[in-house]
Amino acid sequence: MKDTLKKILGQGGPFIGLILVIVLFALPDETREFFLTYNNFKIIFTQTVIVAIGALGMTLIIVGGGIDLSAGSTIALTSVVGALLVQQGWAAAPVVLAVVASGGFIGLFNGAAIAGLRMTPFIITLGTLGLARGTSKWLADNQTVNYDSSSINRWMTTADPFSHALPAGVWVALGLALLTSLLLRNTVFGRHIFALGSNEATARLCGIPTARLKVLVYALAGCFFGLAGLFQLSRLRQGDPTVAVGLELDIIAAVIIGGASLNGGVGTILGSMIGALIMAVLRNGSQQMGWPTYFQEIIIGLVIIVAVFLDRLRQGRTAT
């Protein structure tokens, strides 16, 4: 009985959580009419895109036994870089490449510092959190970077807000989630990430180049954060160096709620995506209930603690 319960919590936990949260907001009179509509879910999906794409990168890092606290700052920096390039008259495609590459560069820096200096990811990325935030303010001259117009602005909306079509950003997030999931589950690279996070000593013993792997993981994750920065830019339609403060915590929370273990070696892309959705549903529902923002923060805080408690139950299962 206890084992079955643990199994359900371990495997279907995030999905059950999502359904619970949706039911929670579908029942009250205040929200019943609008909450369960297609249009509301279109809004929720759109609101999830940035955290979801960030969570793709963060899942790779956390499964590999690391953490990245600089994700929010990276998103701000790359969105400022994108805005500056649009201001310079760059076309959309090169802007996308440059923004993703700049995110990848920050990740490369993180990975190289962690592997090369043999320091804990927490410290290195805590440093990068400040570095990237400061640099983005510097580049933006401490103000928002505005531009006339760009096709990038259309990626987080649809031409007709009441149409049934989903914005491009949602499709990009879905497509990348599928690809990353395959990468993590079915490639040598992905299985090596699990090995690294599960037991670095074993990975080393078995001849896996652990230092190189770490650099690659952080660099790839940085590319995801850069892409999230691009959609941040698309949503705001300006480069704001003070945006996404603390967003790394939302992203980490999404991955943890999705069943990944901070000890490494455990985690799925599907889980992280559901985790990101749970966060978005909680925000959306709280707003419709008319709850004040401090109440939303309390609720989300509690959800994180419950999710980590479930994480510990899972750990208990694997330890025995």
Q: Give the binding site for another protein (CB under 8 A).
A: 186-189, 191-192, 194-195, 198-199, 201-209, 265-266, 318-320
Q: Report the C-alpha gap between 318 and 320 in whole angstroms.
A: 6
Q: Tell me how far, at minimum, the Cβ of 62 lies from another protein, in Å.
A: 14
Nearest Cα neighbor of 271 from 8, 5, 13 is 13
Q: Measured between alpha carbons, how far apart are the two ends of the chain, in Å?
A: 16
Sequence-ordered list of residues with C-beta below 8 angstroms from that of 185, at least 6 positions apart, any chain: none
Q: Report the C-alpha gap between 146 and 144 in whole angstroms.
A: 6
Sequence-ordered list of residues with C-beta below 8 angstroms from that of 18, at least 6 positions apart, any chain: 274, 277, 278, 281
Q: Which is nearer to another protein, 37 or 186 (CB)?
A: 186
- Extract the tokens encoding 296: 């939303």
Q: Which is nearer to another protein, 235 or 314 (CB)?
A: 314
3-state secondary structure (DSSP) of residue 145: strand
Q: Tell me how far, at minimum, the Cβ of 186 lies from another protein, in Å.
A: 6
Q: Tell me how far, at minimum, the Cβ of 181 lies from another protein, in Å.
A: 14
Classify 142 in phi/psi space as left (phi over 0), alpha (psi -120 to 50) or beta.
Answer: left
Q: Which is nearer to another protein, 74 or 261 (CB)?
A: 261
Q: Tell me how far, at minimum, the Cβ of 184 lies from another protein, in Å.
A: 11
Q: Which is nearer to another protein, 146 or 263 (CB)?
A: 263
Q: By CB neighbour count within 10 A (0-12 exposed, 13-18 middle, 19+ buried), where does 154 fall? A: middle
Q: Tell me how far, at minimum, the Cβ of 241 lies from another protein, in Å.
A: 38
Q: Tell me how far, at minimum, the Cβ of 259 lies from another protein, in Å.
A: 13
Q: Which is nearer to another protein, 130 or 209 (CB)?
A: 209
Q: Tell me how far, at minimum, the Cβ of 117 lies from another protein, in Å.
A: 19
Residue 126: Cβ within 10 Å count: 15
Q: Which is nearer to another protein, 249 or 262 (CB)?
A: 262
Nearest Cα neighbor of 47 from 214, 280, 301, 220 is 280
Q: Report the C-alpha gap between 195 and 184 in whole angstroms.
A: 11
